[in-house]
Structure formats: C-alpha cells, structure tokens
Structure 1
C-alpha cells in the first residue's frame, strides 16, 4: 500500500497514525450532530454531506415542498469556500499534520460558536435568510474539515461521508482484517450516534442547545491534540 494509506492495526497508539483515528471518530460524531441540526432545523439542508445536499438542491429546483433552495445553495457555496480555505491552509502547513488538525479544529470551534449565536434567531423560522446564512457558515466549517481530514489520509475516517465506508464493510468482508472492519464499523456507529443525539436534542430543546455538543466535542479534540503535540512523535508528520 502507499505510505499515506497504511494502517498499523492500533486504533489508539499506533506509530503511523497515533491518536488520530480516535480523534477523527469524535469529529465524526460531531458531524452527525451538525447535520441533524441543519436538516431538522434549517430547512432540510445538509451542511456536511454534499451528496445529499446536491440531491436536496435538485428537489428544491423542482419545487418539491419542504426544501429550501436558498439554504441548499448557501450550504454548497459555503462548503466549497471552506474546502478552498482548507487547501490553502494545507499548502502552508507542509507535512505537520498534527499541528494542521489542531489549528483546524480550533477554527472550527470558533466558527461553530458564531453559528450557535446566530441560531438563536433561527428558531421557528427554517428556510429564512438567517437560516441560510447559518447553513453556509456550518458548511464552510465542514468543508474546511473535509479538506484537512483528506490530507491526513487516515483510512476510512473521512468524518463527513460513509458511502465508501459502508461499501468496504460489505465488499471486503472476507478479505479485510479485524482492525479494518472495526474502524469502518466505528465510523458508521459514531456518525449514527451523533445524528441520533442531534435529532433528539432538536426535538426537545432549542437549536442552539442542539448544536452545542458539536463544538464541545471539537474542543475536546483540540485539547487532546494540544497535549499530544507536547511530545514529538512520528504520526505528527505526514508519512512518505
């Protein structure tokens, strides 16, 4: 395998990826939370899953009831801007992927805090201009995350999409080893749990409180990275 896709079989302390797999699973949970808030509270719009968002955009253009064209367009534009910014940040970071993820997560926490403040004015008005603005901001955050996680190249842990992960679970069921199956299943489970908790919170609290666990989880990731980076290790630099 290429060096960027090697897997050492250890989810927590392997020399190739260190604690990155566990931290990316935490970020996957946060993604499920964020998409639950956006789909259920902002007018049926995905901010992390752009495949679903493009489908929703098609529904909106066709005039299907319940789908907000402005919110879908805003999310798509925000995601692209976030990915563009992520590409620029990656170009400046070089091979220092530990610091790259740390800095990215800190920016995400800040952007989600701003989104949480704006969400206070969205409650009860999904599909509004403010809801579209929040969707764009959250999608920008997810686009940035997606670009950076793609650069980290930890197998099967994209934090935002699961199509290929699910395909791998079924298609490689006979050939894949236990560590491979484990990380793929955990990616699905963490996304599911994030979406489940997010949906429950949207139904029982305000959108602000429903979103709050996501930046809290990202803050935990940032703190873990701050601690881990105090001691140099091979996983902090991109392989190859």
Structure 2
C-alpha cells in the first residue's frame, strides 16, 4: 500500500512565528544582544554622540561634559589657588570651578545608574533601551533649562562663560549625566572604543596596534579610528547647528539623535546561545 504523502512543512509557521506579535516583541525586548560582536556600528554612533553632546557644553563654558579628567584637574587648581602668593590668591570656587564640579558630580550620578543595568543584565535589550531613553529625557531637560536660562550658550571668553545661572548649570549637569550613562553602557557591552566617552585609551591602542600600517581591513584598528573620527564629526555638526539655531535648539536635535540610538538597540542581533550536546 503506497504511503500517503504528507504536506510540506516549508510553508508552515515556526512555533515562534505563530505567537502573537506583542508576545514576540516582549520576548525580543527581554533578550541579550550579541555583544560585543554586533555592536561596532552603534559604538561608532555613540562616539558621534559624544562629540555632539560635548560641543554645546564647551561652547558655553569650556567644560567637557564627558571628559572628566580635565574637570578633576581644574578642581585641584582651584584648591591650589588658596595657597598662592598674596595678590594671586583666591578663596572659594570661581564660576568655572563651580561648573566643573557640577559636571563631575552629575557624571558620577549618571554612571552610577550602571548598577541598575547590572541588576537587569548589562547586555539585555531591556536595559540598553531604557538607558538610551533616560538619556533622551536628560537631553530634553538640558534643552529646556538652557532655553529658560535666557543665556546665549556661547561664551564670550574663558573669563566670561555662559550658563552661569542655576538653570544654565542645570543644563550642563543634565548633559554630563547623559555622558555618564553612555560611558557605563559602552564599557559593559565591550565596545572597541571602551566607554565611547573618553578616547585617550583608544588612541593609545590605535598607535600600538601591530597591524597599524597593514593595507587591509583590520577591525582592531579601523573600528577605533572610525570612532575617533565620529567624535570629530559629531562636534563639527553640533557646533554648526548651534551657530545657526542656538544651544537649546541644538540640544533638541540631540534628543532626536538619542532616540535613534534607543530604537537602534532593537535591531542588534540576539546573543547566540550555543547548545552543548551530551555524549
């Protein structure tokens, strides 16, 4: 008796595809991403955001909201001035020193949220989207405080910085907090650019790469160089926008760029779980 042919399974849906869309979405939202393997492009984009975010703060008050080494050194100089010779001695913190301190404290607060990421799992899409969305809100708060401060956002000289009012310092603080969050996210996902915030270590790694002068695609070199150039491009674009429409509006554009990052995490491939077969 001839066997009855069974219908081909090629047109049937897999168990995962047959589930409702919202359940598949929630499952995808709760998975770990393939990191650092699939995060090279989004890490380069994060470097672009570093340049874009830093330009308004430096243009306003000569404070790098993400590069905190200089702020720590500046505070050391402020303390040292109390022991300077008479006539050069100053007491208390001058306005630039107050801005540097506000930036440093806010950066600390932002990066400390990485502890929440560790609880949720640092490479899980849930945390990465949440962290990016918080950065969107912080950038929005920076735009609003910069607008209502009534200041131009452009310093006339190092001695006369902008963002001197409480609202202006708040704008600087919100931007610094965003960079703190970005720093811990980059560190936890294992970005080739380390934290994607400070690139000093990245430059050291580039110029000590044994394949620095290789005439072929070299990920260890090329991805890091792309990150450094992305910072340059981000700062250039940000300053060009700032000159045209002002600092508050420039920070509004930053909100849009941050939202792109939040959405981007959904398209990073899932972590591949290798199954170990028992003998």
TM-score by length of 1: 0.79
The answer to whether the 8 A contact 1:71-1:131 is kept is no
Query: Which residue in the other structure is 1:234 paired with?
Result: 272
Whose Rg is larger? 2
For structure 2, list consecutive stretches of 5 or more residues without a partner in the other structure.
1-32, 82-89, 153-161, 274-279
Q: Secondary structure at the match of 2:148?
A: coil
How far does residue 137 in structure 1 lie from its aligned partner after superposition? 1.5
1:102 aligned residue (106, 129, 135): 129
Query: Which residue in the other structure is 1:10 paired with?
Result: none
Inter-partner Cα distance in structure 2 for 1:15 and 1:117? 36
Query: Which residue in the other structure is 1:74 paired with?
Result: 102
How far does residue 228 in structure 1 lie from its aligned partner after superposition? 4.2
State the aligned residue count: 216
Structure 2 residue 118 is the aligned partner of structure 1 residue 91: yes
How far does residue 152 in structure 1 lie from its aligned partner after superposition? 1.1
How far does residue 129 in structure 1 lie from its aligned partner after superposition? 2.0
Structure 2 residue 70 is the aligned partner of structure 1 residue 47: no
Structure 2 residue 195 is the aligned partner of structure 1 residue 151: no
Structure 2 residue 147 is the aligned partner of structure 1 residue 128: no
The answer to whether the 8 A contact 2:122-2:188 is kept is no
Bigger fraction of residues in helix: 1
How far does residue 71 in structure 1 lie from its aligned partner after superposition? 1.0
Question: Using a 3 Å threshold, how does the CA distance of structure 1 residues 132 and 16 change in structure 2: closer, same or farther?
Answer: closer
How far does residue 155 in structure 1 lie from its aligned partner after superposition? 2.4
1:216 aligned residue (256, 263, 269): 256
User: What RMSD over aligned residues (CA atoms) do the two structures have, in Å?
Assistant: 2.6
Query: Which residue in the other structure is 2:85 paired with?
Result: none
2:225 aligned residue (179, 182, 185): 185
Inter-partner Cα distance in structure 1 for 2:37 and 2:261? 13
For structure 1, list consecutive stretches of 5 or more residues without a partner in the other structure.
1-13, 236-240
Inter-partner Cα distance in structure 1 for 2:135 and 2:46? 11
Inter-partner Cα distance in structure 1 for 2:62 and 2:78? 10
Structure 2 residue 58 is the aligned partner of structure 1 residue 31: no
Question: Using a 3 Å threshold, how does the CA distance of structure 1 residues 99 and 129 change in structure 2: closer, same or farther?
Answer: same
CA displacement, residues 99-155 of structure 1 (integer Å, 9 cap, x when unaligned): 322211011111111111111023334322221111111111211221222111122
TM-score by length of 2: 0.69
Runs of 4+ in 1 over 4 A off after TM superposition: 58-63
How far does residue 60 in structure 1 lie from its aligned partner after superposition? 5.3
Inter-partner Cα distance in structure 2 for 1:97 and 1:53? 32
